């Protein structure tokens, strides 16, 4: 690891109290490069100077590095609402395949959770899930679909048994779940359309790092990608500007296209 990079990491770790030594160098580099691009800086030494004179950047960098933290059925209750209210409603209103998008899918925990939720609630229904992320490494892990026990702690032993095969100490998503999910690289800020005629979009804990202006652009894309009456589910600690969506459940952060 080069000296400047090491310097940035040890400075950031000391100031934030967050350990950064468990991440791979290539991953850290990519995250710092994303920060540098955002700030319009060209090299690592310039970034090191910037971080030393801008205290708030320490937090930004830590967030940028910890950004793909996720787990199966994250926060649980939005998934319960999804299974109890949204899926039955979509099923009675829609004929044909129900289409979902997990935007910012990280290592696949979210799209596979959606698949499990649908298989549990509507076992005979056709459905498909687009799962996209900007990060190649995450997408690779997602398509392999092997997870540590800790990532699965929100799933009951019955669900684990039904939807995963044990491989050593880890758990692999079974093929009949995987076949519903299609992974693809996509940058939400690119404004490039990914798909249309969707019934629900999960974009949880992704836009939290976007500016308000960027968030509005992404929301317009979501609006265009959804069928009317389609749902948008964001992260529990997030909020969105009111652009074409009505709130269905404020505490679960569930919205519907009007």
Ligand X SMILES: C[S@@+](CC[C@H](N)C(=O)[O-])C[C@H]1O[C@@H](n2cnc3c(N)ncnc32)[C@H](O)[C@@H]1O
CA distances from 105 to 37, 78, 136, 150 (A): 22, 16, 11, 18
Examine the residue annotation and report whether 31 is marked as an active-site residue of this protein.
Answer: yes
CB of 2 or CB of 80, closer to ligand X? 80
Q: Residue 237 and residue 234: Cα distance in Å, rounded?
A: 8
Q: How far apart, in Å, are the Cα atoms of 196 and each of 26, 98, 123, 146, 211?
A: 34, 12, 24, 29, 24
Report, in angstroms and rounded to the nearest whole number, the Rg of the chain calculated over CA atoms.
19
Site residues for ligand X, window 158-187 (CB under 6 A)? Answer: 187
- Out of 31, 35, 74, 215, point to the residue binding ligand X (CB under 6 A): 74
Q: How many residues bind ligand X (CB under 6 A)?
A: 19
135 is a site residue for ligand X (CB under 6 A):
yes
Rounded to a whole number of angstroms, the minimum distance from the CB of residue 109 to ligand X is: 6
Show the CA angle centred on residue 36, arms to residues 69 and 7, nearest 5°.
Answer: 80
Name the residue nearer to ligand X (CB basis): 3 or 69: 69
Judged by CB under 6 A, the stretch of 4-12, 37-45, 103-111, 250-258 that binds ligand X is 103-111
Contacts with ligand X in 32-71 (CB under 6 A)? Answer: 67-70
**71 token code pair:** 């787990």
Query: Which of residues 87 and 134 has its CB atom nearest to ligand X in the complex?
Result: 134
Draw the binding track, 197-236, toward ligand X (x: CB under 6 A; -: no contact). -------xxx----------------------------x-
CB closer to ligand X, 108 vs 230: 108
> Which one-letter DSSP state was computed for residue 150?
G
| Closest distance of CB 93 from ligand X, Å | 25
> Is 6 among the catalytic positions?
no
Give 160's contacts (C-beta < 8 A, 6+ positions apart). 152, 171
End-to-end CA distance of the chain: 51
Closest to ligand X by CB, 104 vs 230, is: 104
CB of 12 to ligand X, least distance (A): 19
- Contacting residues for 238 by C-beta, under 8 A, at least 6 apart: 204, 205, 207, 208, 253
Tell me the closest approach of the beta carbon of residue 207 to ligand X, in angstroms: 9
Choice among 35, 74, 99, 133 that is catalytic: 133
Grouping H, G, I as helix, E, B as strand and the rest as coil, residue 99 is strand
Phi, psi for 118 (deg, rounded to 5): -70, -45
Question: What is the smallest separation between the CB atom of 112 and ligand X, expressed in angstroms?
Answer: 11
Q: Which residues bind ligand X (CB under 6 A)?
A: 67-70, 74, 104, 106, 110, 133-135, 138, 187-189, 204-206, 235
Residues with catalytic function: 31, 133
């Amino acid at each position: 690891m080069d000296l400047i990079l090491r310097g940035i990491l040890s400075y950031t770790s000391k100031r934030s109290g967050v350990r950064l030594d468990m991440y791979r160098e290539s991953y850290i580099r990519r995250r710092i490069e994303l920060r540098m691009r955002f700030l319009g800086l060209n090299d690592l030494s310039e970034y090191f100077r910037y971080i030393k004179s801008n205290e708030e950047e320490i937090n930004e960098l830590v967030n940028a590095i910890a950004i793909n933290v996720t787990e199966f059925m994250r926060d649980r209750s939005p998934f319960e609402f999804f299974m109890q209210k949204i899926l039955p409603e979509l099923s009675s209103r829609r004929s044909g395949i129900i289409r979902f998008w997990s935007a910012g899918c990280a290592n696949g925990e979210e799209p596979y959770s959606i698949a499990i939720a649908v298989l549990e609630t509507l076992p005979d229904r056709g459905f498909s899930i687009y799962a996209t992320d900007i990060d190649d490494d995450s997408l690779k892990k997602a398509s392999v679909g092997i997870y540590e026990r800790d990532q699965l702690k929100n799933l009951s032993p019955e669900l684990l048994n039904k939807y995963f095969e044990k491989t050593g100490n880890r758990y692999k998503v079974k093929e009949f779940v995987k076949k519903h999910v299609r992974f693809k690289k996509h940058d939400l800020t690119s404004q490039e359309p990914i798909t249309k005629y969707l019934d629900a979009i999960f974009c949880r804990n992704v836009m939290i790092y976007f500016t308000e202006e960027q968030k509005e652009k992404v929301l317009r894309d979501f609006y265009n990608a959804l069928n009317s009456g389609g749902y948008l589910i964001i992260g529990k600690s997030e909020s969105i500007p009111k652009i074409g969506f009505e709130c269905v459940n404020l505490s679960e952060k569930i919205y519907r296209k009007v």
